[in-house]
Amino acid sequence: MDSENQSTRTWRFSRWFTRNHKIPDPFHLSELSDGSEDEGDRDEYMDDVFVQSMEMEMDPCISTNELRIFVGTWNVAGRSPVGSLAVDLDEWLNLRDAADVYVIGFQEIVPLKARTVLGTEDPTEATNWNQLIGKTLNDKDGCPALTPMLNPTVSDSYHYGGQPSVQHEEPNQCSRYKLMASKKMVGVFISVWMKRELLKRYRISRVKVCSVACGIMGYLGNKGSVSVSISIEGTNFCFIAAHLASGEKRGDEGRRNHQVSEIFRRTIFPRLPQDGGSPHPLTILGHE
């Protein structure tokens, strides 16, 4: 594997699922900082947030849970998942120390040619990657869940609706991991998987996806992001896979910074009828 194009993080989350307490958002939800705030005031404010966090952790009335999340990103340079990449994926996911949730982002799952950038979205490669990821995650338990996949994902966008979906449900119910959401925009792709047992243990809701294209002319999908928003026991998570402008020439860094600001500004998750009157973050910075 090309280590320069692959990055992985595994985090262990505890002290969350806080139903009745909310830590103040230092980012003011969807407002981006312009860097003009007083550093001393900001440090003092963050100290207050930390103290409140510690008080919450010590509160015996608040239950705590632990969740291990694997987060990785990989630029596959237009190569198909069919073939040698299957071996690389198995090694990368490190299932000897399996996580509860896998968040996998890819760049360039299709070659960035005029036909793929300007043409209609083709879900084929997204389906192939989801099949391979599901097979890799579930074969370890002797459950060849997606081999073959009787009802493959036929859209470039999928999010878990809270009830089993005939179209996306794996034929073998002994499979350990469930596809929660996936989203493709040209070559950038995100796929989120969760252990099935967590679907029974925790309240999983409001799974939403969003894409932002900010490539050629500022609005084509050769560069940009795909994002997934998900609520687990009332705590809101946001996962983002991005593909930004490359290069080390003068102005390239500024282009990347501008694309990041556009991703923050234009990522808006839809309101759903099942949201009801309860608040739910619509922007990236609105999440915990």
DSSP string, 15-42: S---SS-----TT-TTPPP-S-S-HHHH
pLDDT value at residue 3: 42
Q: Are 186 and 116 in contact (CB under 8 A)?
A: yes
Place of tokens 């009787």: 150
Average of per-residue pLDDT across 158-187: 70
Cα–Cα distance measured from residue 119 to residue 114, given in angstroms and rounded to the nearest whole number: 8
Max mean pLDDT range (45-49, 59-63, 92-96, 147-151): 92-96
Contact assessment for residue 80 and residue 125, using Cβ atoms and an 8 Å cutoff: yes
What are the extents of the domains in the chain? 3-17+63-286
List the Cα angle 71/75/76 in 5-degree steps. Answer: 115
Please report, to the nearest 10 degrees, the dihedral formed by the alpha carbons of residues 10, 160, 122, 71 taken in order.
Answer: 0
Q: Structure pTM?
A: 0.74
> What gap in Å lies between CA 233 and CA 277, rounded to an integer?
17
Q: What is the CATH number of domain 3-17+63-286?
A: 3.60.10.10
Q: Which of 183, 184, 181 is nearest to 231 (CA)?
A: 181
pLDDT digits (tens, 9 = 90+) for 25-68: 444 434 443 344 444 554 554 555 455 555 555 556 667 888 99
Q: What is the pLDDT of residue 84?
A: 67
Q: Is the pLDDT of residue 103 over 60?
A: yes
